[in-house]
A and B are shown apart, each in its own frame.
Chain A
Amino acid sequence: MAASHVSSVSLSLNDRLYAGLVALLLGGFLVFGAGLANSSVLHDTAHDTRHSYGFPCH
Chain B
Amino acid sequence: MIVKYLLAALVAGLFSGALMTAAQEARVIPLILHAEEFEGGDEEPAAPGAEARPDASHEHSALGIGAALSEVAAYLSPISVAHAHEGEHEDGGIMFGMSRFSGTLLANLVTGAGFALLLAGVSLVTGNAITVANGALWGAAGWLAVHLLPAIGLPPELPGFPAAELGDRQAWWIATVVLSAVGLYLLILKDGIAAKVAGVVLIAAPQVYGAPQPADIASNVPAVLGAEFAVAALATTLFFWIVLGLSLGFANEKIGVTRKIAAKAA
Contacts and interface: CB of A to CB of B under 8 A. Distances in A.
A11 B261 contact: yes
Interface of B: 1-2, 5-6, 9, 20, 24, 28-29, 32, 82-83, 85, 88-95, 98, 100, 103-104, 106-108, 110-111, 113-127, 147, 150-151, 154-159, 163, 166, 169-170, 173-174, 233-234, 236-237, 256-257, 259-264, 266
28 contacts: A10-B263, A16-B125, A16-B127, A20-B120, A20-B125, A24-B125, A27-B116, A27-B120, A28-B114, A30-B113, A34-B107, A36-B174, A40-B93, A42-B95, A45-B106, A46-B103, A46-B106, A47-B82, A48-B82, A48-B107, A49-B104, A49-B111, A51-B157, A52-B29, A52-B156, A53-B147, A55-B173, A56-B169
B92 A44 contact: yes
Nearest to A12: B264
Nearest to B117: A27
Interface of A: 1-4, 6-7, 9-13, 15-36, 38, 40-58
Contact of B94 (A11, A26, A45): A45
Given A3-B266, A11-B1, A58-B88, A51 B125 contact: no
Sorted from nearest, which 10 A-B pairs have the closest CB atoms?
A: A27-B117, A20-B124, A30-B114, A40-B92, A23-B121, A24-B121, A46-B107, A20-B125, A54-B156, A31-B114
B118 A51 contact: no
A40 B89 contact: yes
Given A17-B125, A19-B5, A23-B6, A48 B261 contact: no
A48 B29 contact: yes
Contacts of A47: 82-83, 100, 103-104
Contacts of A35: 111
Contacts of B85: 58
A33 to B, nearest CB: 7
